Amino acid sequence: MPGVVLPDTEAWTVRDPVGRDYPIWVSLPAGYARDTHLRYPVLYVTDALYSFPLARSVRNMVGQGGAHLAPFILVGLPPQQGLSSQQSRSRDYTPTQPSRTPGDDYTDGITYGGAAHYRDFLADHVLPQVEARYRTDAAQRAFAGHSYGGLFGAYVLLTRPAMFQRYILSSPSLWFDQHVINRIEAEYADAHADLNARVLLSIGAHETPASDAPFAARNDMVAHTRAFAECLRGRGYPGLWLETRVVADEDHLTVYPAMLTRALLALFPSRSTALAV
C-alpha cells in the first residue's frame, strides 16, 4: 500500500561532491503559491526524519496561517541515502574524531568528525539550490538542531556563522570529544571581535545525572549549556543576541517538541512578515 504523503511538501536530492546523495525535503507555507510577490524566511532542520514533520505541524497549527508565526519555508535535512540515521548524523554533525575510552558514549563501527565537510556541502550546494528554487529571503535563514544536531549548529555558529542569522540549539552535545567545542569557541574569539547572530540555546531541566527522570543524561548537559552561554556572553559580542532556556520537567528525549514551539514563537514572531520581492 502507498505511504502517507504530507500535503504541500516536495522532495529532491542533492549530490555531495564526494558522491553522497542527500534527500532534501521542503514544506511551503500557506499562501506561497498565491502570494507570488513575497519572499520568505527559511528554517533548516537537522534529523529531518523526526524534526521535519514536527516543525511543519508546529508552524501550521501554532502559526495559524501567519497569525501567530511569520510564514516560513521549512527545509528538512534527512540522512544520507543508504545510511542509517545514526551513521549519517554521527559523522556529519560531529566536528572531530573523538578520543576513545572504555565505556564512553561513542559507538563502535561508527565514523565521526565530518562536520566541516557537511557544513560546506550545505553552504555551497544545498542553500544555493534552495534559494534558486524558492522565493527565499537570504537575510532570514534559520537553523534548528537537537543533540548532535545542536552540536553541529554550535559548530557552524563558531566556524561559518553567516550561513544562518538565527540558531535554535536544543540540548547540544557540548560534551562531545572532551568538550572540543570549547576549543573551537576560543579559536573563534581569538580571531573575531563580533558574532552576528540570534541564538536560542535550550536544555531540559532533567538533562543532568542528578535527575531521577527516566531519560536523565549521563553528562551534566544543563551545566554545560549554562557554561557555554556564559562564555559567549562574556565575550561581549555587540552583534550577538543570546537567550538561554532551561525547560522544566523535560529530559533529552522529551524537550525538543516543547522548546521548538517556544523557539519558533521567539524567532519567527508574526510581526516579522514576509518581504515583498
Tens digit of each residue's pLDDT (9 = 90 or more) over 185-225: 999 999 999 999 999 999 999 999 888 777 666 789 999 99
Which residues are registered as beta bridge partners of 143?
Answer: 44, 167
Question: 35 near 82, Cβ under 8 Å?
Answer: no
Contact 269, 70 (CB under 8 A): yes
Domains assigned to the chain? 9-99+107-276 (3.40.50.1820)
- C-alpha pair distances (Å), 117 with each of 20, 25, 106, 114: 12, 20, 20, 6
* d(C-alpha 209, C-alpha 105), whole Å: 14
Does position 34 have pLDDT exceeding 80, yes or no?
Answer: yes
User: What is this structure's pTM?
Assistant: 0.95
- Residue 60 grid coordinates: 501550521
Mean pLDDT value of segment 83-98:
96
Residue 227 has pLDDT above 50, yes or no: yes
